[in-house]
Amino acid sequence: MRKNTVLVYDDHEKLSEACAHFFVLDATRCISKRGRFSIALSGSQTPQRFHQLLASQAFSKNIPWHKVFIFWGDERHVPPTDEQSNFRMAYENLLQYIKIPEENIFPVPTLNKSPKDALNYEKSIYKVFNKNLPRFDWMVMGLGTNGHTASLFPFSEVLKEKDRLVMSSTNTDNGQERITFTYPLINAARQLFFLVSGKEKAAMVKEAIEGSQPKKIIPVHGVKPEDGNLTWMLDKDAASLLHSYRTFQKEKV
């Protein structure tokens, strides 16, 4: 395991701006080193502003989008036009505004039963990376108030998976079908960024960073990069219950 970092920002806007800057820097570095930049996006509300900033001229002009390959770390089993779709959120805030080849975008398939779609998505990932264990350059992660990340929910059988990279999953709160990256794929990433904002997330942020409950109860505890960096990017509200809050770096970008 390599470096874990916690960065705290004044508000959601500054958090989003900093993440956009990191994205541009890492895209440039990875493309220079490996010829492309492979990323996995997340859903929910928090990354929307980050997506909007990437789409803006100020940031987008510095990103060679034709060398960026976009995937999603999880998806609800709904059509891509559904208001709950992670793909739709990314399209409305980012994809429709940037010049990226259609063949560089890999939405999670949701037209069949979720186990079959999960297997098809796993196959497409293997094909793009052409490796036994694909390594994404970047993964953007979220954190639920119940400790879930991606669509890895408390007490799910998917938490035990050691071989498959993508699996079908069920939201244990409402029974909704999902498709999700598993720990083996998540923990192989070179860079993992957790974007978390809001006071409602403060208690779980404290548990995720300072707690020690087993991953079957708090799934985010299973995110432990094997040879990558994990960075928590928090606003003040999300970081407000951390014991070591004052010692954390407050990044100004």
Q: How far apart are CA 85 and CA 233, in angstroms?
A: 24
- Range list of β-strands (E), the chain: 4-9, 37-41, 68-72, 74-76, 138-141, 166-170, 177-181, 191-196, 229-235
Predicted local distance difference test score (pLDDT) of residue 246:
45
Complete domains list, the chain, with CATH:
12-240 (3.40.50.1360)
Question: CA-based diameter of the chain, in Å?
Answer: 49
β-bridge mates for residue 249, sequence order = 7
Predicted local distance difference test score (pLDDT) of residue 1:
42
73 HSE (CA, 13 A, CB side): 32
- Ramachandran class of 111: left when φ > 0, alpha when ψ lies in -120 to 50, beta otherwise: alpha
List CB contacts of 239: < 8 A, sequence separation 6 or more.
Answer: 6, 8, 202, 205, 245, 248
Residues of the chain with pLDDT under 50: 1, 246-253
The type of residue at 192 is: L
Four-residue CA torsion sign, 131, 141, 51, 29: negative
β-bridge mates for residue 38, sequence order = 69
- Coil, helix or strand at residue 9: strand
Predicted local distance difference test score (pLDDT) of residue 245:
56
The span from the first CA to the last CA of the chain, in angstroms, equals 27
Cα dihedral 151→152→153→159 (10° resolution):
150
Exposure string for 112-142, b = 16+ CB within 10 A, e = fewer: eebeebbbbbbeebeeeeeeeebebbbbbbb
Predicted local distance difference test score (pLDDT) of residue 132:
85
Q: How far apart are CA 89 and CA 131, in angstroms?
A: 30
* pTM assigned to the model: 0.94
Q: How far apart are CA 198 and CA 194, in angstroms?
A: 13
